Each structure stands twice: as C-alpha cells, then as structure tokens.
Structure 1
C-alpha cells in the first residue's frame, strides 16, 4: 500500500453515473462535483435521490458505472476503501458491546496488526480530541447516545483517513441531542481537519453544519454552494420548496423595463419583480419568484396605503401556528403549495389575526429572487 499524503482530502466526481438492472435503473445521473480538502460537505435530498449511493461510491463499497472519482487528485475507482484512505461512520454506530471505549476506538488499528502499546497511545490521543478520556474504560451500554456517536467518530478517524463519510449520523438521536451533536460534529471536524461528506435528508442539519451544501433530486445535483447561498438564493422552484423558508409564486411577464418586470398572476394585482442584474426575461414568459417567509408582512385591508412601492398578493389566512419566537401564518395565495409568513411573535400579538381573515401579504421588491425555470 502506498500512503497518500495526509490531508489530501479533496474529492472530485467527474461524470459519475451509477445504474442498476442492466442500465434500467439510474441511481446517479452524470454527477460533477468538487469538494475542497478539509471541507464539511452535506449531500441533501429526499430518499432515493442518490446521495447514499454517492457516499458508497466515494467509500469504495460500490464502483460507478461510468465516470471518475478522485481523492487528492488520484482516481480511486476500483481501489478498496483501505487504499482510498476513506472511513465510514454508519447510522447505527456498530460499536462492539463487549469492548471498552478505548478498545472500540483502537479496534481498526488492532486489525491492522499494530502493537497494543502503540494503538493504545493513538487511542488515548484520539479520546482527548473528542473529549472521551474520562469514559475510556466504559462499555457502550454505559454511554449516552451522544457519547456513543463520539466513539464511532473517533474509531473512524483514528485511521487518519483523507475523507470521513457519515451516513445519516444524527437520525437515531432525539431532537434535543441532535441539535447538541450538530455543534459537536462541526467542532470535531475542525479539530480533526478531515474532509467530511455527510448524507442527510434534514435541511436544517445541512445548513447548520456544511461549508458546502449539495441539493439532489432523482440522481442529479440541483444546486451546490454555501449554506447561505442555497437557502437565500435557490436556483429553481425545487430547491426553494425543498429547502423551506421560501414562498414561490409563478406568473406571466407583462412588461419589462430593463431592471424590473411586471408579473401577472391570476386574481392578483400586477407584481413588480427585480431582474437582479444580468437576468433577462421576455414579455409573455412564465417565471417563478421566491420570497423568504420572514420577509413577508401581513397587512389588513384598511392599511393598504403601506403597500406603496411594494409587491403584494391578496390572500386569506388558512392556519396559524405559534412557534415561540415567531408565529407561522399559512395563506391561500397559491393553488398548489402553502404560502407562509413568519411573523415575529411580539408583532403578531400587537394586533392578532384570525383564521379566515383577508390580508395583503407584502414584501419589498428587492427581496424577491427570480429563479431559473
């Protein structure tokens, strides 16, 4: 085995295709993706979108039907995991119940034939990094769920992989512990300096953790970028609706003046849309715009004067949910999906609205984002 330099954890997928059943079932469809060395990347999407298949192909548990997978600039297709210098942390943790924390962490070094004293020294150093030293002699059953996860992470990281792969690592935890472990995962990744590739179907998990969020649908990448870019400026309707936090309106362009367009939506007054610089649209074209839910202000009809210079739709309240620091107000502004306003809690209760009330949902024109079709 020829060891690649430690830290060379840049991952590149070039034209990667994975098909089954003689090509009849396409799990991954021509993926091109670059993950920088030392990045925290989250592959995000619904079940069956291909994200776990990509993880297995990077790991070496499956090979692509077509394309190349490079780690540290080396094409690793056909190489076993040990030669790729990857490590996988599974959803179930798969800890040995009869082994102590120390022995669980050192197990892979034992399998490789490392002397006991040397592997225990490495295990002690790793336990210190992930704050497990005081639990070194405990069995897994004597640990909390979060502590067990840290043991699994330390066991994977002790082999000094170039890339650490995490398959839904937080899904088995309750909500409170999941939030706590997000912070710990991010901290451990920075401490270890290893490239993390993390599969999840939970939007907030990806946003909280990742330097690079990759949103997938049906074997394709829909959008890849920083968490803020993907959340604030979704590329298309699918990404906006999947990520949440955005309302999507579809309409027809009536006028264009170079920097703004006027969009017509049936039953509504004309809606002004900023074209966002280089984006061009034609008169008569159908367009989608996204507006963040926390950018929506709800106005009673008698306050219509506050609509001057703003875009809006007339709508009826269909549901109200108290969320603590904000109130989620559901509206019937669209035919197919929910149109939602996140109203600050104090503002909402200054003049509470009721289900059935007719209101204007208004926003600053510059806050709407024109998306690709």
Structure 2
C-alpha cells in the first residue's frame, strides 16, 4: 500500500515512442510533499509527457516514478492516488455543479447521501455553494474551472496534476485564478504539479519551478532562484527579465574578471565559481531592472560594471516602469526596465544616445549550454 505522502521522485525517467527519439530524456527530480511545482517550457519539451507519466496515463520507457516512497510505474491512477485536471475541464453539460463534482464518488460506488455531503463540503472550499444547482453552460469560465478543480480534488488525491489550467482564460481571470489555485493548494495541503508555457504563471505560483528543453531539465529550484540566478543562456532568455551578453575573458583580477565586448567596450564581472581562463568565451546576464540609463555626458558612476554606448530603439510605458529597448548588443535584444518616476525626471526619446550601465555585483556569469 502507498502512504499518504505526496512527495515525488523521478529517477532516470525516459520516454520514447519509437525506441530512438526520447521525448523525455533521463529526468531526475525530487518534489517535496505538499509543494506547488510548475513544469515550464515550450511546446514539445516533454513537460506534459512527464505529467501524464506521473498520473499513470503513460508508462516511462525507463526509470522509476516514486510517490510516497513507492515505485508506482505500472499502477493505475486510482492506486497511485493521483488526480488530473484537464485543460478542457471536460464537465458534463447535463449535470449540475454538485453532480459534476460528486461524479468520481459515484463511479466509486458511494451512496448519494455520502457523495452529496462530500460535494457540498468541497463546493464550500472553492466558493461554489450558491451555484450548486446550475449547469456548466450557466457558469463563467473561472467558475467552470473551479468545478473541474473541485471534481479532481474530491477523491482526496496525494498529487493533483494540472495541464495548462489557465490557458483558456482572459488575462484578468488568469490573475484571479492564480490566487485561487494557490489558496486551494495550501488549504488542501497536497502536492500540485502544474504544466505551463507561461513564465509569469510559473513564477507567481510555484514553490518549485522546473525549466525544460528537449526532454531534459535545464534548471529546477525555488521560483526566485531560477528567475534571479539562471544557470545558462537558455534559462535566462526563456524566463525573460534578463539581458544576456557574450564576450571573451581579457583579464582576471582576483575577485572579478574583465569581459571584452569588442566595439561595446569591456565589462567587469564578479567571480562566482572557479576562475575562468584568459580567452574563454563567457555568457553573462544582467536583469533588465538593474540596468541604469545615463546620458553620455554624465559618465559611468564609480562601482559600475560597464557603460555600453546605446541608441534608444523603442519606448513602452508599462505603468510602474518604462520598457526601453536599446541597440547595445548588435543583432540581439537589450532592454532596460526604468522605474516610472526615474524615467520621467529626464525622459528619453527614440534615437537618443545613452550609456547602459549597472552595479558590478548585479551581473552574473552563466554556464555554457
């Protein structure tokens, strides 16, 4: 028998449909009991396949999936005590909210009294009590989603799996439902595994973010760590919020090294791990909200890493900040998020020349992909 824990371990998990190409390729990962974990990546990266293998809808070609200390490969979903909420919601149009939520208990043979009691308790948790007798067609998109979530949770799973649950909602409702999902996860106290291709969604919701590319995990960890400290260029660019630059090491200075940026000058980078060698090609990342824009006649302040000569290509007002796009890196995006009040003290125009700069301790070197 499995116990009540929802901790998950994926050990060497592979999935191939033709025996040659691996959709999931040697994935190793631990997810703590009661965590909210988001698998994040582009279409075809293997994240939904992992979700289906945890659920029991597919078996891995190799490796183990351990839930609550037991290898569940080959076991049915009901034995694993997993439940899945599908992107389409798949509600029964002819059943009321109460009967939709109670349906899994009906399949298990519970009496009408017992399943309605459980459904009423679950409706209270997801704030659907006043809609108990409505049909799905008479609900909003967000209400339908809560019905689907309640129906998945009523079986008291150890692990609840969500496949792109917010993709069909408009932006305002997505933000609202993010809060609803997080609230429910904490209230239920069970492990949530959520698949998404939306970076902001993963960062807003997850205790653990898993970034994937071509069947492999590129980085996994707390949302803030993955966003603020990406391991490599792929993670930095996929999550967004970072500018990535490349250059050759021209000098090693003890606590820092100097990266040559050809026509753009050189950049001082703090030493983080083992010292690089002169001539090594290195990728570095600096957050867009750490970039300061200075008029060329003012010069670079002391303690700053660089002064990249740049021309303003475009300006977008974003409310609390202004997004300024620059030509600092030929052939690539370079963006500064300037606080609104800072920007409008000395507004820039398209075509203006500036120096893009940042404090030395705000830049980090990346591993080579």
**What TM-score range do you get, normalising by the shorter chain?**
over 0.9
**After TM superposition, what 4+ stretches of structure 1 lie above 6 angstroms from structure 2?**
none
Match for residue 263 of structure 2? 267
Residue 257 of structure 1 pairs with residue 253 of structure 2: yes
Match for residue 9 of structure 2? 12
Report how far residue 162 of structure 1 moved: 0.9
For 1:336 and 1:54, how far apart are their aligned partners in 2?
A: 36
Answer whether contact 2:264 2:328 (CA < 8 A) is retained.
no
Equivalent residues, number:
367
Report how far residue 337 of structure 1 moved: 2.5
Match for residue 309 of structure 1? 303
For 2:169 and 2:94, how far apart are their aligned partners in 1?
A: 22
Match for residue 244 of structure 1? 240
SS at match of 2:277: coil
Matches within 5 A, 1:70-109: 70-109=66-105
Report how far residue 281 of structure 1 moved: 1.1
SS at match of 1:333: coil
Report how far residue 324 of structure 1 moved: 1.2
Report how far residue 269 of structure 1 moved: 2.2
For 2:106 and 2:3, how far apart are their aligned partners in 1?
A: 22
SS at match of 1:307: coil
Report how far residue 96 of structure 1 moved: 0.6
Matches within 5 A, 1:186-205: 186-205=182-201
Match for residue 292 of structure 2? 297
Report how far residue 268 of structure 1 moved: 2.1
SS at match of 1:107: helix
Match for residue 279 of structure 1? 274
Report how far residue 365 of structure 1 moved: 0.4
Q: Deviations over 1:54-97 (max 9, x none)?
A: 00100111110110001101111111111111100000101111
SS at match of 1:294: helix
Unmatched 5+ residue regions in structure 2?
Answer: none
Report how far residue 108 of structure 1 moved: 0.5
Match for residue 366 of structure 2? 371
Match for residue 52 of structure 2? 56
For 1:295 and 1:256, how far apart are their aligned partners in 2?
A: 24
Residue 322 of structure 1 pairs with residue 308 of structure 2: no
Residue 155 of structure 1 pairs with residue 151 of structure 2: yes
Report how far residue 336 of structure 1 moved: 3.8
SS at match of 2:293: strand
Q: Deviations over 1:7-45 (max 9, x none)?
A: x1011100001012232x220010001110000000000
SS at match of 1:310: coil
Report how far residue 370 of structure 1 moved: 1.2
Match for residue 346 of structure 2? 351
Q: Deviations over 1:253-308 (max 9, x none)?
A: 111122100110110222111012x332111111111101000110111111x433
Report how far residue 243 of structure 1 moved: 0.4
Match for residue 216 of structure 2? 220
Residue 211 of structure 1 pairs with residue 189 of structure 2: no
Aligned CA distance change for structure 1 residues 265 and 322 (closer, same or farther; 3 Å):
same
For 1:279 and 1:72, how far apart are their aligned partners in 2?
A: 38
Report how far residue 51 of structure 1 moved: 0.2
Which piece of structure 1 moves more, 123-132 or 244-253? 123-132
SS at match of 2:264: coil
Which piece of structure 1 moves more, 330-339 or 238-247? 330-339
Q: Choose which of 352, 355, 359 in structure 2 pairs with 1:360.
A: 355
For 1:97 and 1:279, how far apart are their aligned partners in 2?
A: 61
Q: Choose which of 41, 44, 63 in structure 1 pairs with 2:40.
A: 44
The alignment's C-alpha RMSD in Å is 1.0
Match for residue 164 of structure 2? 168
Q: Choose which of 329, 332, 337 in structure 1 pairs with 2:327.
A: 332
